[in-house]
Structure 1
Amino acid sequence: MKVLILGAGHAGGTVAALLRQYGHQGQITLVGEEPLAPYQRPPLSKAWLKGEADAESLALKPVEFYAEQGIDFRPGVRGLQLKRSDTTVLLSDGSRLPYDVLVLATGARATPLRIPGAGLEGVMFLRTAADAERLKAAMGPGRRLAVVGGGYIGLEVAASGRALGAEVVVLEREDRLLARVTCPALSNFFRGYHERHGVAFELGCSVTAFEGEGGKVVGVRLANGRVVPCDAVVVGVGAAPNDEIAAEAGLATARGVVVDLDARSVTDSTVFAIGDVSYRPMPIYDRMFRMESVPNALEQAKQAASAITGRARPAGECPWQWSDQYDLKLQIGGYPIDADQVLLRGDPVGGRFAVFHLNGDQVRAVEAINSPPEFIIGKQLILSRRPVNKAKLVDPSVSMKEVAG
């Protein structure tokens, strides 16, 4: 059985390795648009920018692994057309590859700002190692960096910029940071922490243009007419799934390729989609999601590899993600869907606390700052849906093990 994997990111690289680990003996071809072997992407906004990591240290596997495992790794090419009628994919190098099973792991791309000056030199995104390398060269003492978007990636870039000595301003459309993903308490905490490290913020502002001189960005124009001077800009306002090849082939898409609990396309049983490009069920919330996280990529790689090799479906997991900023580790479990109450455990002043989102007496999500027990037990509570004693939950003197009871 020939397995063709389009996309050599965390999801694609992991499913290729798992297929061999799970006993698949047939042909595996791994096609990646970047020139690098599969690597970890979260450190791009942190360790890579600060010069603490490179392609070799972030590689999921040594490049020799793929040849040793009989995996035909083809870097620097991408899929152009999926022809389901004869089960082939046309690649950008002109070749056409057949498959018995196709795994789409094509990821997502940064959402651009379609405003004047968007094409100026120095207007950047952060999705790949090449992006990170360009950004690293633009940061340093005396440099002025503008970050458009006050989400997790934007804040991580801001923290790295300050660590490298750059002046940093974050421009956010909403009236608080992380407005779409967290509660006001956490927004206020992160704003204060970043301000103490020298980051400036412009909240409730709209970016209308990038100003340039000699083809290079020199400022960001706001809706009120004011121009924020800068030497470089990082745009972090979201991402869109690379699902065009699937949609053009007639596969069901809805903010990503629609799949089942095996990561299999609901349209075509020979096609799987994993990672950022998939739109997947999440039973504990009784709805569908598109999730951009390494844990999601790993979970779906396990699902697809298990289904392809005939193994039992792995147990469902609680979705989670993390963000590192300065000496803070934010660990997020679940989503605050249908939450009707927010409870605080610990003291934000000490930089060690957790925010729990509940529906009735069930935990729906947890956001833990430097608090591993709250994160770990919180995920268990989310997955089990066990009711909790709220008085114990907010009392730091009561262990999380006792809370879980």
Structure 2
Amino acid sequence: MDATAAHVIVGAGLAGAQAAGTLREEGYRGPLVLIGEESELPYERPPLSKGYLLGKDPREAVYVHPEEWYHEQRIDLRLRTAVTGLDPAAHRLTLADGRELDYAKLLLTTGASPRRLPVPGAELAGVHYLRRLAESDQLRALFRTAKQIAVIGAGWIGLEVTAAARAAGVEVTLLEALELPLLRVLGREVAEVFADLHRDHGVDLRFRAQVAELVGHDGAVTGVRLADGTVVPAEAVVIGIGIAPNTALAQAAGLTVSDGVATDQSLRTSDPDVFAAGDVANAYHPLFGRRVRLEHWANAVHQPRAAARAMLGQEIAFDRIPYFYTDQYEDFGMEYTGYVEPDAYDRVVFRGDVAGREFIAFWLAGDRVLAGMNVNVWDVTDPIRELVRSARPVDQQALADPDVPLNEL
């Protein structure tokens, strides 16, 4: 390995940009290369299904930094560049054009890609996914002209796209294979809240809907055929059935891969000079005692910063409590703090007005709070985070009482 080899980051999204900035903040002055396949500067993804999709945020607001920032920080930003090979023993990357690049330390922030709908007709024109800025641009244009669309998948992306379409006056049929939206994420008690929210905004919700094929005419989608033979008419179809981590590069290089690139608590992979962070990383979390792969904006902000410090030799144990948020319609904002696996909780305790959508929900195992979700109740994230981290027993009656301050539990 060349003694002057760079620290290299593969994946020029939010996570990659955060890591590059942190390396400079922490005093690394050597060569630094940030590589990405897209033509856009590194950008944040939440606006693509929220403010930018709604037309509220300007395009420049989605970018992590302006172009000049990368020049000022002496970051060699290589866009439109694919990495096709990784040789950990030689500390070398191979690029799509055949060039090779040596590295001293490597960080993989390769993110994830949308899961494709495996049915006939999925390649018809008018079938959309939402992961990239250009795809958000396509949906913005669609919402200005379409009268009726179908959304397949009632996860976070599906619900946010549905809300944006309804805000634009588009009729939406939302198709979900399970019996409620977000059922595996939130459980039945809270999933009902999201079902009611979208019904109240005029969405045609269809649960236990099994998609058999997408039907079309002259190469363009015209509807969705369900397993029972029902055809849902649609001028366009948006598919949001989850994402899969982009692990091909790591797997081909012989790194340990298991639902993402496996790392220790310092974000180090099975090779000591290769790290991973963001959507692609299945990282050991000291608080939970197991590896956890998170697909949240906050994780893409904070985890790469920890990985960058570990690349510089600092002792790191990334144990931040998971956090994510959503905004849907003008009257619904939510923050979620903590981590709960499906069926790993005993009960949900509500505090506040659930029917009026101004409440906090707590997921408990025994008398310990695993996670809390505040809906239209603000400035409570810190005490919820402390309840989760402390794992101290709580009185459920006091937990449900809005007159008892959370920091006194």
- Same structural fold, with TM-score higher than 0.5 when normalized by the shorter chain: yes
Give yes or no for the alignment of 1:187 onto 2:191. Answer: yes
* 2:369 counterpart letter in structure 1: V
2:200 maps to which of 176, 196, 202: 196
Matches of 1:140 and 1:66 in 2, distance apart? Answer: 35
What is aligned with 1:244? 248
- State the 1:308 CA deviation: 1.8
What is aligned with 2:266? 262
1:371 maps to which of 355, 359, 377: 377
Deviation string, structure 1 residues 167-213 (Cα, Å, up to 9, x no partner): 11110000111111012232221111111111111101100100011
What is aligned with 2:25? 21
Q: Secondary structure at 2:383's aligned position in 1?
A: helix
1:302 maps to which of 302, 305, 329: 305
Q: Secondary structure at 1:30's aligned position in 2?
A: strand
Sort the Cα spacing of 1:279 and 1:46 in 2 relative to 1 into closer, same or farther, 3 A.
same
What is aligned with 1:116? 120
2:320 maps to which of 317, 321, 324: 317
Sort the Cα spacing of 1:133 and 1:365 in 2 relative to 1 into closer, same or farther, 3 A.
same
CA contact 1:365–1:382 (8 Å) conserved in 2: yes
* 2:10 counterpart letter in structure 1: L
What is aligned with 2:95? 91
- State the 1:55 CA deviation: 3.6
Matches of 1:71 and 1:15 in 2, distance apart? Answer: 11
Sort the Cα spacing of 1:364 and 1:217 in 2 relative to 1 into closer, same or farther, 3 A.
same
Identify which range, 54-63 or 96-105, moves more after superposition. Answer: 54-63
1:235 maps to which of 232, 239, 243: 239
Deviation string, structure 1 residues 209-266 (Cα, Å, up to 9, x no partner): 000111111100100011100011111111110011100010000011110111110x
What is aligned with 1:205? 209
Identify which range, 316-325 or 329-338, moves more after superposition. Answer: 329-338
CA contact 2:250–2:261 (8 Å) conserved in 1: yes
What is aligned with 1:107? 111
Deviation string, structure 1 residues 75-97 (Cα, Å, up to 9, x no partner): 11121111223211112233221
Matches of 2:36 and 2:318 in 1, distance apart? Answer: 29
Q: Which runs of 4+ in 1 moved over 6 A?
A: none
CA contact 1:170–1:202 (8 Å) conserved in 2: yes
1:158 maps to which of 139, 159, 162: 162
CA contact 1:141–1:165 (8 Å) conserved in 2: no
Give yes or no for the alignment of 1:45 onto 2:49. Answer: yes
- State the 1:374 CA deviation: 4.1
Matches of 1:29 and 1:54 in 2, distance apart? Answer: 28
Matches of 2:244 and 2:295 in 1, distance apart? Answer: 10
Deviation string, structure 1 residues 311-359 (Cα, Å, up to 9, x no partner): 3426621111111101211111112243212111111122211111111
Matches of 1:55 and 1:242 in 2, distance apart? Answer: 26
Give yes or no for the alignment of 1:173 onto 2:204. Answer: no
What is aligned with 1:137? 141
2:291 maps to which of 265, 288, 292: 288
* 2:112 counterpart letter in structure 1: A
* 2:77 counterpart letter in structure 1: F
CA contact 1:354–1:374 (8 Å) conserved in 2: no
What is aligned with 1:391? 397
- State the 1:370 CA deviation: 1.3
1:342 maps to which of 330, 341, 348: 348
CA contact 1:15–1:302 (8 Å) conserved in 2: yes
TM (norm. structure 2) is 0.95
Matches of 2:128 and 2:145 in 1, distance apart? Answer: 19
CA contact 2:286–2:318 (8 Å) conserved in 1: no
Matches of 1:336 and 1:268 in 2, distance apart? Answer: 30
Q: Secondary structure at 1:181's aligned position in 2?
A: helix
How large is the Cα RMSD of the aligned pairs?
Answer: 1.4
Matches of 1:354 and 1:375 in 2, distance apart? Answer: 10
* 2:191 counterpart letter in structure 1: S
Gaps of 5+ in 2: none
What is aligned with 2:66? 62
Q: Secondary structure at 2:136's aligned position in 1?
A: helix
